[in-house]
Amino acid sequence: MNLLTFLAFLLVLPCWASTWEIDDSHTAAKFKIKHLMVSNVYGQITGAKGTLDIDDKDPSKTSGTITLDVSTINTNNEKRDAHLKDADFFEVTKHPTISFSIKKLSKSKNGKYLMEGDLTIKGVTKPVVLKEVELTPTVKDPWGGTRRGLSGITTIDRKDFGLTWNKTLDGGGVVVGEKVDVEIAAELKAKSENAKN
């Protein structure tokens, strides 16, 4: 096989590894936390950025970082959102972003994935595992771009990241729960393509 033939052969091989960019307009981290021990507060953080290298043949080689803009936090209550941004909670002026750096992606028993990585909030980094991770097949969008979805869930203890503010209720219990349920829902676009929407 001469050099030209070999190069032509390489061009028709399937491309398993690919690079993807976060589409910030279709990506969010949604969360749920207990309020007054009786109900849940729901919210989300957007302003996502990041690049992921995904290897469909060997998912364990998948890597990348997702970053979120904490100033976008929205719980549908302006006063509460302002409190979440101040020093009692995220202290956005000093720590404007939350990041998740992917370390490993492995197949789970139900056909989905487990995604291990390092979560950094308020300058504190802890290992976190996303469960029920779904990585969709690729699709072509109406503008000629290539897209795919990435989603997963986890539960964290906010105190592990220095988010310790609370108040005790007269009858027992606290104002804000400690466990936070988090769902990541990301839309990815192929980096080499320039999708319009």
Q: pLDDT tens across 21-69, in order?
A: 999 999 999 999 999 999 999 999 999 999 999 988 888 889 999 999 9
Which helix (H) or strand (E) is 34 found in, with range?
Answer: strand 28-35
> Which amino acid belongs to residue 62?
T
Whole-angstrom Cα distance, residue 136 to residue 188? Answer: 10
Answer yes or no: are the C-beta atoms of 128 and 162 closer than 8 Å.
no
101 alpha-carbon distance from chain centroid: 9
Rounded to an integer, what distance in angstroms lies between the CA atom of residue 137 and that of residue 133? 13
pLDDT at 55: 87
Question: What domain range is 112 assigned to?
Answer: 27-190
Based on the structure, what is the number of domains in the chain?
1
Whether residue 8 is contained in a domain is answered as no
In a domain, 174, yes or no: yes
- Is residue 5 in a domain? no
108 residue type, one letter = S
Give a yes or no: residue 55 inside a domain: yes
In a domain, 195, yes or no: no
What is the Cα gyration radius of the chain?
A: 20
Confirm whether 176 is domain-assigned. yes
- Is residue 180 very low, low, confident or very high in pLDDT (cuts 50, 70, 90)? very high
Pairing of strands 28-35, 176-190: antiparallel
Is residue 71 in a domain?
yes
The whole-model pTM stands at 0.86
Question: At a CB cut-off of 8 Å and minimum separation 6, what does 8 contact?
Answer: none
Q: What CATH number has the domain bearing residue 57? A: 2.40.128.110
